[in-house]
Amino acid sequence: VRPGAMVIMSELSAAPAGSGQGQQKPLRVGFYDIERTLGKGNFAVVKLARHRVTKTQVAIKIIDKTRLDSSNLEKIYREVQIMKLLNHPHIIKLYQ
């Protein structure tokens, strides 16, 4: 993760089979190894990652804070607040 990035992480309710064969040493965010990109947006990228101990797969949203304007920053904070309130088996859970 590069400087100026913010990380939002969620557990995946159903994760695809692991890829990552033939890759170099994986990038790490805390206790998580980054496996591959799941999606991209204007100021964020979502990566598939796996916890190094529990092997739990998660989606990590990495936000490039240098590309956020005040409107987009407000949307991010609102998204985080909403995700903290949600609790449903088919909705990803915000952890950190």
pLDDT tens digit sequence for 29-41: 888 899 999 999 8
- Identify whether the C-beta of residue 89 lies closer than 8 Å to the C-beta of residue 36: no
Q: Can you tell me the distance from the alpha carbon of 60 to that of 75, in angstroms, rounded to the nearest whole number?
A: 17
Domain hosting residue 9, numbered range: 5-15+24-94
pLDDT at 39: 94
Q: How many domains does the chain have?
A: 1
DSSP state of 30: T
Average pLDDT, the chain: 76
Residue 65 marked ligand-binding? no
Q: Can you tell me the distance from the alpha carbon of 19 to that of 30, in angstroms, rounded to the nearest whole number?
A: 20
Q: pTM for the whole thing?
A: 0.64
Q: Which residue has the higher pLDDT, 91 or 58?
A: 58
Domain of residue 43, CATH code? 3.30.200.20
pLDDT at 27: 85
pLDDT tens digit sequence for 39-69: 998 888 989 989 899 998 888 888 888 888 8
The DSSP secondary structure of 7-26, one letter per residue, reads EEEEE-SS-PPP--TT--SP
